[in-house]
């Protein structure tokens, strides 16, 4: 087991390059199973969620060859199995995408229920609603979700809640269904558009991705393609907030500024200087942030996956800020850890009231989930003194070469092995 040790108080300065988007990669890789020939996927981030998905695909029988550290060629033709076990899925949320991909491929999928960050309940009722609308029978038996269909027919599906996962899974099941599928109240995140572009490059016929209504006209076959994943909106946002929170000056390269509009707006409202370029954003800040209120919402609203990071930044704002979590039931579990570092945050249900303090102090804390872990790193960079962060495997799920990228910006951060507690039981 490892931990991060951060000696805080250094302003981040310099340039950081953003990697491929985790939430696009974990949807596009399973989508390769729908192809009748090999696909090349480029700009994959080197993160554990991607290696988990690739391991699952190889266990299903796919032939996977790495071209370099961020590109693979996947031949799905040898895939015979349609079963993704709990061990294969390793408790990640995106394993649910194998349901839509395998159902779309051979009309049968048997997948362990998805895991992922713990924000309270993470149901898949909208995914199942979509599969059933396309003609599948879905049952949950012996701890597995089993979706089966004689054939899949296009249909209209209205999502009761805007759901990224359900939108993605229905797209995967519908691309080869007979006829037209319309997803209404669809999610509009950049990774939804990236998946639609990937599928269309394989010969799919998807219109409207990025809007609330996505139309999918089923096609007989999908062929191989070469495709490069979009930059990671949340990794970019995390470095932008870290730059402002440490009073630094950072050029964040390899980004799509359009995906960052809500994050830029809030940083500017808090008093940061933000310059936009074609594929880069520069963030600098010299004084403490001003308070601001934030409501997280589905895209194009302020992303829930940036909520812990921006809350950490506002912990040292002048005045009181209010953050309302509009997507998840319980995404403030990290607040207890921030309090250990001197933050003054009161949580009441989906609302956090943040009373700004002069500064945070280093302390031993833990990453309770992926983005909470990123927030702890930002807190450690902002704080005076030493911060140790354990359970960093959460962070490794979504941030490529974090210590390397931060050290290049002047951060004093290192990864240290946590010695196993010595058993003091005398040998019998």
C-alpha torsion angle, residues 364, 370, 375, 379 (rounded to 10): 20
Q: Which of 143, 139, 187 is nearest to 165 (CA)?
A: 187
10 vs 96 by CB, closer to ligand EPZ: 96
Taking CB under 6 A as the binding criterion, the range among 115-123, 238-246, 357-365, 385-393 that sits at the site for ligand EPZ is 115-123
Taking CB under 6 A as the binding criterion, the range among 66-74, 123-131, 309-317, 413-421 that sits at the site for ligand EPZ is 123-131
Q: Among 274, 327, 338, 341, which residue sits at the site for ligand EPZ (rule: CB under 6 A)?
A: 327
For 105-140, give the DSSP string. Answer: HHSEEEEPPP--S-SS----HHHHHHHHHTT-EEEE
Assess 111 for contact with ligand EPZ (CB under 6 A).
no
Q: Among 5, 26, 292, 413, which residue sits at the site for ligand EPZ (rule: CB under 6 A)?
A: 26
Positions in 353-412 near ligand EPZ (CB under 6 A): 370-371, 398
- Specify whether the CB–CB gap between 226 and 40 falls below 8 A: yes
CB of 86 to ligand EPZ, least distance (A): 17
CB of 140 to ligand EPZ, least distance (A): 13
Positions in 268-297 near ligand EPZ (CB under 6 A): none
Name the active-site residue from 72, 117, 270, 314.
117
Q: Is 39 a catalytic residue?
A: no
Taking CB under 6 A as the binding criterion, the range among 105-113, 150-158, 160-168, 249-257 that sits at the site for ligand EPZ is 160-168
Taking CB under 6 A as the binding criterion, the range among 58-66, 68-76, 121-129, 193-201 that sits at the site for ligand EPZ is 121-129
173 vs 363 by CB, closer to ligand EPZ: 173
Q: Among 117, 267, 280, 292, which residue sits at the site for ligand EPZ (rule: CB under 6 A)?
A: 117
DSSP 105: H
User: Strand 344-348's sheet: what is its strand order?
Assistant: 294-295, 320-324, 351-355, 344-348
Q: Which two tokens stand for residue 351?
A: 């609302």
Q: Among 43, 163, 225, 233, which residue sits at the site for ligand EPZ (rule: CB under 6 A)?
A: 163
- Specify whether the CB–CB gap between 6 and 413 falls below 8 A: yes
Assess 305 for contact with ligand EPZ (CB under 6 A).
yes
CB of 160 to ligand EPZ, least distance (A): 7
CA distance 57 to 105: 13
DSSP 290: B
316 vs 334 by CB, closer to ligand EPZ: 334
Assess 122 for contact with ligand EPZ (CB under 6 A).
yes
Q: Among 5, 39, 62, 124, which residue sits at the site for ligand EPZ (rule: CB under 6 A)?
A: 124
CA distance 203 to 187: 22
Q: Which of 67, 57, 69 is nearest to 32 (CA)?
A: 57
Residues near 142 by Cβ (< 8 Å), separated by ≥ 6? none
Instruction: Give the angle subtended at the CA of 24 by the CAs of 23 and 28, to the nearest 5°.
Output: 125
C-alpha torsion angle, residues 229, 234, 235, 237 (rounded to 10): 130
- Specify whether the CB–CB gap between 240 and 233 falls below 8 A: no
Q: Among 52, 126, 312, 387, which residue sits at the site for ligand EPZ (rule: CB under 6 A)?
A: 126
Positions in 178-237 near ligand EPZ (CB under 6 A): 187
Q: Which two tokens stand for residue 406?
A: 């931060």
Count of CA atoms in the C-beta half-sphere (13 A) of 310: 34
Residues within the interface to ligand EPZ (CB under 6 A): 22-23, 26, 93-94, 117, 122-127, 161, 163-166, 187, 304-305, 327-328, 370-371, 398
Query: Among all residues, which ones are annotated catalytic?
Result: 117
């Amino acid at each position: 087991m490892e931990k991060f040790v951060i000696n805080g108080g250094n302003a981040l300065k310099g340039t950081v390059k953003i990697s491929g988007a985790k939430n696009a990669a974990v949807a596009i890789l399973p989508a390769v199973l729908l192809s009748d020939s090999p696909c090349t996927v480029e700009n994959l981030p080197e993160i554990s969620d991607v290696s988990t998905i690739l391991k699952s695909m190889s266990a299903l029988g796919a032939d996977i060859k790495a071209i370099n550290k961020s590109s693979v060629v996947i031949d799905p033709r040898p895939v015979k199995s349609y079963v993704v076990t709990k061990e294969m899925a390793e408790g990640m949320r995106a394993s649910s995408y194998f349901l839509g991909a395998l159902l779309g491929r051979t009309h049968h999928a048997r997948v362990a229920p998805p895991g992922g960050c713990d924000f309270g309940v993470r149901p898949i009722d909208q995914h199942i609603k979509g599969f059933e609308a396309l003609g599948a029978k879905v049952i949950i038996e012996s701890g597995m979700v089993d979706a089966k269909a004689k054939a899949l027919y296009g249909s209209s599906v209205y999502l009761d809640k805007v759901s990224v996962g359900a939108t993605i899974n229905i797209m995967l099941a519908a691309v080869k269904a007979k006829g037209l599928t319309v997803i209404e109240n669809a999610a509009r995140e950049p990774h939804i558009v990236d998946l639609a572009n990937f599928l269309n490059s394989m010969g799919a016929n998807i219109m409207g991705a990025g809007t609330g209504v996505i139309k999918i006209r089923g096609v007989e076959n999908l062929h191989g393609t070469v495709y490069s994943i979009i930059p990671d909106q949340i990794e970019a946002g995390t470095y932008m907030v870290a730059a402002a929170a440490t009073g630094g000056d950072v050029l964040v390269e390899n980004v799509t500024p359009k995906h960052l509009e809500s994050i830029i707006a809030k940083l500017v409202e808090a008093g940061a200087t933000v310059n936009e370029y074609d594929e880069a954003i520069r963030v600098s800040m010299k004084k403490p942030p001003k308070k601001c209120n934030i409501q997280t919402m589905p895209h194009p609203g302020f992303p829930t996956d940036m909520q812990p990071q921006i809350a950490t930044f506002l912990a040292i704002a002048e005045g009181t800020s209010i953050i309302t979590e509009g997507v998840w039931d319980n995404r403030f579990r990290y607040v207890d850890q921030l309090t250990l570092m001197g933050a003054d945050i009161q949580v009441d249900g989906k609302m956090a009231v943040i009373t700004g303090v002069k500064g945070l102090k280093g302390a031993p804390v833990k990453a309770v989930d992926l983005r909470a872990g990123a927030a702890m790193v930002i807190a450690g960079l902002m704080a005076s003194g030493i911060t140790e962060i354990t359970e960093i495997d959460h962070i490794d799920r979504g941030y490529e070469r974090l210590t390397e990228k931060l050290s290049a910006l002047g951060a004093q951060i290192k990864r240290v092995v946590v010695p196993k507690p010595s058993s003091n039981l005398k040998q019998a």
